[in-house]
Amino acid sequence: MWTRKSRDCISRVAVTLVGYSVLLAFALIFIFLLWQVWPLFQPAKISVQSLESASVTMVDSYSVQSTNGHTATHPLMLDNGLDERVQLQADGYFQWYLRVGDDWQLQMQGHLGLASWQAATMLSGSRTLLVADKNAQVYSWFRLHQELIVRPRITLRQMELQALIPVSADSFFSLHPGQLDWYHVTTGKHLAELQLPDTPLQQLQLSEDRQLMRLHWGPDHSQAYQLQWQHPAVAGGQLWSAVHYEGRREAAYVWQTAAAADDSNPRLSLIPLTSGTLKAAGYAMLFATPLAILAAVFTAFYLPERWRYRTRATMEMLESMPTVILGFIAAFLLAPWLEQQLMLFFVLLVLVPTVLVLCSALWFHWRQRQQQQAEQPGAVLVLSLVAGILTAFMLAPALEHAWFDDSLLLWLAGQGIDYQQRNALIIGMAMGLAVIPSIFSLTEEVVSQVPASLTQGVLALGASRWQTLSSMVLPVAAPGILAAVLLGLGRALGETMILIMATGNTPLLGFDPFEGMRTLTASLALEMPEAAVGSSHLKVLLLAALLLLVLTFLINTLVSLLRQRIRQRYLQL
Amino acid sequence: MRQWWQQGSPWVWFSASALLVCLGLFMALLGLIAVKGMHHFWPAPLVQFQLTEQSRPQLGRLVRSVSDRAERKDRAYRLVDRGDLIVDASSQLPGRYLLLEAHQLLSDRPKQAVWVQLQDGRTFYGKQVGQETAPSDAGLWLDLGMAAPVLISAVEIRAYWLPNQLSFRQKGAVFWQEWRYFLTASPSQNQSAGGIFPAIFGTLVMVLLMAVLVTPFGILAAIYLHEYAPKNWLTQLIRTSVYNLAGIPSVVMGVFGLAFFVYVLGGSLDRLFYADQLPAPTFGTPGLFWAALTLALLTLPVVIVATEEGLSRLPQAQRLASFALGATQAETIWKVVAPQAAPAMLTGLILAIARAAGEVAPLMLVGVVKSAPQLPVDTQFPFIHLERKFMHLGYHLYDVGFQSPDAEVAMSLVYAIGLVLLTLILLLNLSAFFLRQRLRRKYRLID
């Protein structure tokens, strides 16, 4: 007796534990990703470092007096430690040199447009010149060939400025009496500050990796500090806002990983990828939603039971079609075909519905003349569909000849529209095909489960089948259909293989149907294996994964709420 | 006209044609893959062509006709495959595939045209000019359109036939032979020739390992949800998480697999047990086990949902009868409920396997490679090498299609791989479908 009871108990505990572990697994995914992404949003910090680790060699040292604008000798010679050098006069006149071999060649000269300035520096290892004027404004310029490009101004503390000190390729210190501030040039953000003792600072030293700093106030008074700034590529809000990077004419949203960037500083704006994901999903839904919903409504409401069952089973089967196959067909068959037959595609899009409407009207008219009920005959419908498609095939070359001088593509190019072979239309069709079964199945289920008492009541009142459908069934089933569309959207947002294969994978902004895109999912699949462990790139990719997770979580929750609601509604009826 | 509109006639026509278009597109897609995939193995006739009036006639396989509309000239070209070329100093030949104009093709289809494939995957098309029968260097003398005939040693030849002489039946025999070779051989010639056996094997091993991981968990979780779970907010939460787990994009699961399983779990395993081999990672790098684990997490909801559906179809009366006879809950579940729901569990498992076999994106992150030097299962201890990387059908398809230097060679091969993958998945789904049908019918009778 004891063993039976204990076995029962053990079974209960074990099964319950497994049940809970599902919840744990789901929570773990969330929490793990959050925990990984968290350091991205850690602000920069300057903290006091104990002396024993201060044995790191300091490679750059700045004695404070020499760069002070009041006492500095004019003209001031600045260089970036590599191959660029600027000579700056007291009145703002500059000469910009580039090292070629062993000599310095003058690249450009001119006037900065400032009447006077109090401190200036060049960022180490970059082409940016920083100049502070008398009103605590820091201007930054960089040289692009023979041109100076201005970047956003940075406003410093209203205190006496002692020096500007370059820290890295895109950050600098401003040194005031008793105060040190750390700024990010690219975004103009104030990163961190440090209170200093009142004794005048004599020297500032930086280690090569820019993680240690030592300040000297005298021969035997010095202190080491740690500079903590783990993810400069995303620290200043570069993820979601336009940033004016060095080497570009204006602020832009850029996704460029370290391997692709010219100076190996990754540019990680998530805007191009997110817009790519939305664009791809949008075009897919545009293609799939009408087709799937109409087809599902017809299946549920008009097809005889046997055929309905078969159609549903087929669609369920097609839902498991591997998307890698769809992607391959899209990239190697559909894309070249559409490039050749773009005109045919548009003609089909317009002509087939028109022919269908015409044929249905003619058929209706003819049946009425014969005094018969206008039932919907399958054969005539198939014939008119085929007729529409054939007409389009015959008409398209003639129309292309007449309107676009034989080539729609050349005409588009003439209008300044860039047609890429792997574009949003292709994605719309291929990914549309991938989400049609999901939308179809749920819509069909919801529409066919509308209580028979309702539909029969409406039919008994003399309404036609279509009137029953449009005035009764669809409004009742609306939340369910919305759930179906959302389910499809969730699938489209998370789809990967089709997007890797048929989008061209160029991060582009905008919703142009003839251009490709790069999506969050494609970036994840292609870049994750190459991103170094612990790098900003990897963390941003994890952030992208988290974003997708949250998005699909919201959509799925909404779907399950809607489904619950429609189930209750059917029960009440 | 008014009546026509009121009766919704155009809308009915629209929706009917929407259904036709949906099904038509899918059927066209399936048909296309089937036809093109099959075509890859059907021996094509060899044609003779001449590059210039003076040059020697060569043999090639006619791939397809190409019309170049971009040039606005309606010149028809023929794409001809010349096979792999033996390059000698005298012939400065352009690549394997040639676009020929109609007049360059000679009408004559020589009877002695031979199609030879070597053991290393290279293919030659040539005219047979003689046979060497001496036992030391037996082989075929082929005229490959070069200055002198070439002797191809019999030892190197994998298969050869004379396609222009084959009857329909003989072609059928060649077709099956090539299929068998394709399914059982390893890829060669930088994936563009040979078979796909390692990819099929890798897929199967990974999927079976995944099944071993996911089955107990999925079934126990379903039993908990249906038999034990009280009706409260916690159960609701578990249900929500099952539902949302099913909706997580597969690539996100792959990201989690790489960042958590491989980097965190694998990294710690390496530090604990394989410290002597560091920094070369053992488990801290993508591999078979992590791929199976990731896909197990991905397919967990499939098993749970299918099992729970099976459990809910079981009549409540059976449970009550079991309790009335004095059985405990555990006995009721394990001796009455679970055995009867076994087909449902099997259905869930098959569906999970079908899903896993078709996934590619997460696998790209957690362990699939384009070509693995060793199979994940072999005769060396411990026989199943969980840390090895493996090949996978879906990824192989992607890799051959997109990374291969010669897109034309890849095209027809990719269709063949796609056909194998699609057949595998459709078969799995069909069996799950019929299993579920049978189960439903059975319990409808009991009810």
**For residue range B283-330, what is the model confidence (pLDDT) as tens digits?**
888 889 999 999 999 999 999 999 998 898 888 888 999 999 999 999
Q: What is the pLDDT of residues A226-245, one digit of tens each?
A: 888 877 777 667 788 778 77
Q: Which residue has the higher pLDDT, B134 or B420?
A: B420
- Cα distances from B375 to residues B277, B291, B370, in angstroms, run 22, 15, 13
Classify residue B163 by its DSSP letter: G
What pLDDT, on the 0 to 100 scale, is given for residue A439? 95
**Residue recorded with tokens 């030949």:** B93
Distance CA A488, CA A440 (A): 9
Residues B421, A381: C-beta atoms closer than 8 Å: no
CATH superfamily for domain A273-344+387-572? MetI-like (1.10.3720.10)
What pLDDT, on the 0 to 100 scale, is given for residue A260? 63
**Residue recorded with tokens 């001449």:** B50
Distance CA B426, CA A321 (A): 8
Q: Is A573 on the interface with B (CB under 8 A)?
A: no
- Cα distances from A572 to residues A363, A476, A482, A483, A565, in angstroms, run 41, 12, 20, 19, 11
As separate numbers, helices (DSSP H) first and strands (DSSP E) second, chain A gives 15, 19
Residues B159 and B255 placed together within one structural domain of the fold: no
Question: In this complex, which of B25, B240, B252 lies closest to A494 when CB atoms are compared?
Answer: B252
For B118, phi then psi, to 5°, come to -85, 170
What pLDDT, on the 0 to 100 scale, is given for residue A483? 95
Q: Which residue has the higher pLDDT, B145 or A35?
A: A35
Q: Which residue has the higher pLDDT, B102 or A142?
A: A142
**Under 8 Å CB-to-CB from A272, ≥6 apart: which residues?**
A253, A254, A255, A507, A508, A509, A518
Residues B215 and B156 placed together within one structural domain of the fold: no
What pLDDT, on the 0 to 100 scale, is given for residue B87? 59
* Percent of chain B scoring above 70 in pLDDT: 94
Reduced to 3 states (helix: H, G, I; strand: E, B; else coil), residue A337 is helix
Contact of A430 with A327, CB cutoff 8 Å: yes
Contact of A363 with A374, CB cutoff 8 Å: yes
What pLDDT, on the 0 to 100 scale, is given for residue A315? 92
Segment A17-44 shows an average pLDDT of: 91
For B439, phi then psi, to 5°, come to -65, -45
B192 part of a folded domain: no
Classify residue B354 by its DSSP letter: H
Residue A151 has pLDDT above 90, yes or no: no
Contact of A309 with B381, CB cutoff 8 Å: no
What pLDDT, on the 0 to 100 scale, is given for residue B254? 94
Residues A291, B258: C-beta atoms closer than 8 Å: no
Poorest-pLDDT segment among A29-38, A142-151, A331-340: A142-151
B214 part of a folded domain: yes
Q: Are strands A221-228 and A45-49 parallel, antiparallel or unpaired?
A: antiparallel
Residues B101 and B245 placed together within one structural domain of the fold: no
Residues B290 and B392 placed together within one structural domain of the fold: yes
Residue A262 has pLDDT above 80, yes or no: no
Q: Which residue has the higher pLDDT, B24 or A223?
A: B24
Q: Where are the domains of chain A?
A: 47-237, 273-344+387-572
Residues B216 and B360 placed together within one structural domain of the fold: yes
- Please give, rounded to a whole number of angstroms, the shortest distance from the CA of A40 to a CA of chain B: 16
ipTM, 2 dp: 0.89
Distance CA B106, CA A501 (A): 39
Poorest-pLDDT segment among A245-254, A297-306, A450-459: A245-254
What pLDDT, on the 0 to 100 scale, is given for residue B382? 79
Residue A316 has pLDDT above 70, yes or no: yes
Distance CA B276, CA A240 (A): 44
Distance CA A436, CA B153 (A): 54
Question: In this complex, which of B13, B238, B297 lies closest to A360 when CB atoms are compared?
Answer: B13
* Percent of chain A scoring above 90 in pLDDT: 30
Residues A21, B252: C-beta atoms closer than 8 Å: no
Residues B90 and B239 placed together within one structural domain of the fold: no
DSSP characters for B50-93? -SSSSSPPEEEEEEEEEE-TTTT---EEEEEE-BS----TT---
Domain limits at B370?
197-446
Distance CA B392, CA B371 (A): 9
* Percent of chain A scoring above 70 in pLDDT: 94
pLDDT tier for residue A24 given thresholds of 50, 70 and 90: very high
Angle separating helix axes B407-446 and A305-318, nearest 10 degrees = 130
Give me B313's structure tokens.
């179809």
Residue A436 has pLDDT above 80, yes or no: yes
Run of H or E including A444: helix A424-448
* Cβ-Cβ contacts under 8 Å, A467 against chain B: 6-8
Segment A196-224 shows an average pLDDT of: 81
What pLDDT, on the 0 to 100 scale, is given for residue B210? 94
Residues B321 and B361 placed together within one structural domain of the fold: yes
Question: In this complex, which of A298, A320, A365 lies closest to B18 when CB atoms are compared?
Answer: A298
Q: What is the pLDDT of residues B59-72, one digit of tens each?
A: 888 877 776 555 44
Q: How many CA atoms lie within 13 A of A53 on its CB side?
A: 10
What pLDDT, on the 0 to 100 scale, is given for residue A69? 45
B183 part of a folded domain: no
Distance CA A508, CA A379 (A): 46
Q: What is the pLDDT of residues B157-186, one digit of tens each?
A: 888 888 888 888 999 999 999 999 999 988
CA A331-A332-A338 angle, to 5 degrees, is 75
Reduced to 3 states (helix: H, G, I; strand: E, B; else coil), residue B434 is helix
Residue of A nearest to B71 (CA): A407
Q: Tell me if A47-237 shares its fold with A273-344+387-572.
A: no
Q: Which fold has domain A47-237?
A: Methylamine Dehydrogenase; Chain H (2.130.10)
Q: List, in sequence order, every beta strand (DSSP E) within B119-218.
A: 123-132, 139-143, 150-153, 157-161, 187-188, 193-194
- Cα distances from A255 to residues A423, A541, B247, in angstroms, run 19, 11, 27
- Burial class from Cβ neighbours inside 10 Å (0-12, 13-18, 19+) for residue A10 reads exposed
Residue B88 has pLDDT above 60, yes or no: no
Give me B384's structure tokens.
């199943």
Q: What is the pLDDT of residues A84-115, one digit of tens each?
A: 888 888 888 888 888 888 888 888 888 887 77
- Select from B111, B103, B113 the least CA-distant residue to B50: B103
CA B131 to chain centre: 40
**Residue recorded with tokens 């699909």:** A552
Residues B16, A298: C-beta atoms closer than 8 Å: yes
- Burial class from Cβ neighbours inside 10 Å (0-12, 13-18, 19+) for residue B239 reads middle
Maximal CA-CA distance, chain A: 113
Contact of A268 with A255, CB cutoff 8 Å: yes
CATH number of the domain encompassing residue B272 = 1.10.3720.10
Residue B86 has pLDDT above 80, yes or no: no
Segment B379-403 shows an average pLDDT of: 84
Residues B254, A524: C-beta atoms closer than 8 Å: yes
* Cβ-Cβ contacts under 8 Å, B358 against chain A: 320-324
Sign for the pseudo-dihedral over CA of B165, B171, B177, B180: positive
Residues B249, A381: C-beta atoms closer than 8 Å: no
Residues B156 and B241 placed together within one structural domain of the fold: no
Counted residue by residue, chain B has a size of: 447
What pLDDT, on the 0 to 100 scale, is given for residue A66? 44
Residues B259, A32: C-beta atoms closer than 8 Å: yes
* Cβ-Cβ contacts under 8 Å, A365 against chain B: 4
pLDDT tier for residue A67 given thresholds of 50, 70 and 90: very low
Residues B54 and B123 placed together within one structural domain of the fold: yes
Poorest-pLDDT segment among A40-54, A340-354, B7-21: A40-54
B261 part of a folded domain: yes
- Burial class from Cβ neighbours inside 10 Å (0-12, 13-18, 19+) for residue A21 reads middle
Distance CA A92, CA A563 (A): 70
Q: What is the pLDDT of residues B248-275, one digit of tens each?
A: 999 999 999 999 999 999 888 888 888 7
B178 part of a folded domain: no
Poorest-pLDDT segment among A517-521, B233-237, B375-379: B375-379
Reduced to 3 states (helix: H, G, I; strand: E, B; else coil), residue A222 is strand
Give me A58's structure tokens.
């300091």
Residue A68 has pLDDT above 60, yes or no: no
* Cβ-Cβ contacts under 8 Å, B26 against chain A: 314, 318, 321, 433
HEC profile of A449-474 = CCCHHHHHHHHHCCCCHHHHHHHHHH
What pLDDT, on the 0 to 100 scale, is given for residue B447? 55
DSSP characters for A338-405? HHH-HHHHHHHHHHHHHHHHHHHHHHHHHHHHTT------HHHHHHHHHHHHHHHHHHHHHHHHHHHT
Contact of B258 with B363, CB cutoff 8 Å: no
* Cβ-Cβ contacts under 8 Å, A23 against chain B: 234, 237-238, 241
**Under 8 Å CB-to-CB from A230, ≥6 apart: which residues?**
A39, A42, A536
In chain B, how many domains are there? Answer: 2
- Please give, rounded to a whole number of angstroms, the shortest distance from the CA of B64 to a CA of chain A: 14
